[in-house]
Structure 1
């Protein structure tokens, strides 16, 4: 089938409220949902607000929910839906609506600023860093993140509990902490920063119950839960309940 008319339901509104609006729109072979949204803008709803940039699945701008599932509009092909299916497009539910499909994701940038950056090792110039290849490869997966914030949106700790947001960084930024904690040249400990302890005490690692919903929606196929969050949890627990660490804390606290 080279072209057909599809039924779309698109959320229209702003911070004060809104509703789903029905459209019948042409679909051509090989198109993605973002193409259809652009066609709606061109032919039926010129004031429809949508955020997008690269249309190549690399900028993370066009995040939305399609039939209730967090997705990138530019990477969701129309061929995955049947011609008879009504396709519902709504804004990310975890974040405040600005207008139509555009949400205010500033929560994520605030959380990013709360994560201490890489601490360079003393006495080693940047060009002289040396690492084993296995240590390079292990956190490299996490650097594929395009910050679409789909993982943040689908995480029920953020999505369903507004009261948790102040104390919970979300999977994207817990993954960042895990990446830094794995880095063999990160000198955070020497600077007095315990990344595992702060992950638990300041960034809400304990709120995560490893449902893997963040991994399931990641467009870069990063294994957020298995390769970042679970190992970070294991290291944080080992650190907290290690009897030698406990004894050391008691001794140093007594000497202060």
Structure 2
């Protein structure tokens, strides 16, 4: 059997990849011809590239099952998980460009410094349980669980953070803007019927607006479009949080009620 017949029978073919190589001081796209087999994903090809042509290529990955969020990159300009991007979605003659996430500083090759996200995570006050309830005494209705359960699917791949133009195109906003992943976290906690943050002196709606930059979000839904877990970040988290924050700040009845409560305290 000829080499061509073997290739046709196995479904293998040669793909043209352009992969960014470099570090914080600069770099460039490099061209590679890499063998592809039926059923493979982009991460498989990157691993084959490491094994056969570029052993020093840096790439972050862990589970290869779309659950750890480690292998985030930009594939043909779109933020994706490499392990969940099948080669079958591309034409065989298509050049596939793989670059690091643009919003975060490059460490080396496809690996970026995502510590910005951990800094923002630490700035969000954690869930505060009611003081009068002990372990095992928490009770919630299923309908309340359903409201925020969607947000717990987040694998923290940070693709939503990467694609949000508020920080992607404006580095100066990073200090004042938590990004969609952590505004979603604030929304989740604000929806939680057992969260006793107000009793602990934390107004999540106020902090979302004043400390985490909720007002910077202009609901373009780019974060929702790239979420590999199909979380409706904009519609189910950010817009409701914006509505509650606006009610708190601008609704005249809410304003009057706050004034009266402050007088009686």
Indicate the TM-score class for this superposition, using the shorter chain for normalisation.
Answer: over 0.9
Query: Does 1:67 find its partner at 2:73?
Result: no
* Equivalent residue, structure 1, for 2:99: 90
Matched with 2:51 is 42
Gaps of at least 5 residues in structure 1 are: none
4+ residue segments displaced more than 3 Å: 248-256
1:99 maps to 2:101: no
Q: Does 1:113 align with 2:122?
A: yes
- Structure 1 residue 67: Cα displacement: 0.3
Could you give the per-residue CA deviations for residues 104-132 of structure 1, whole angstroms, max 9, x where no partner exists? 00000000000000011011112111111
Q: State how 1:42-191 maps to structure 2 within 5 Å.
A: 42-191=51-200
CA RMSD of aligned residues (A): 1.4
- Runs (5+) with no aligned partner, structure 2: 1-7
Query: 1:249 Cα deviation (Å)?
Result: 4.8
After superposition, the C-alpha distances for 1:207-238 in whole angstroms (9 at most, x for unaligned) are 00000000000000000000000000001001
| Aligned residue runs from structure 1 range 201-216, under 5 A | 201-216=210-225
**Mapped partners of 2:244, 2:49: distance in 1:** 50
1:25 match: 34
Q: What residue in structure 1 maps to residue 5 of structure 2?
A: none
CA distance in 2, matches of 1:109, 1:206: 21
1:27-49 deviations in Å (ceiling 9; x for gaps): 00000000000000000000000
Q: How many aligned residue pairs are there?
A: 256
CA distance in 2, matches of 1:15, 1:253: 52
What TM-score, normalized to structure 1?
A: 0.97
Matches of 2:159 and 2:133, distance apart in 1: 37
Mark the structure with the bigger radius of gyration: 2
CA distance in 1, matches of 2:239, 2:254: 21
For normalisation by structure 2, the TM-score amounts to: 0.94
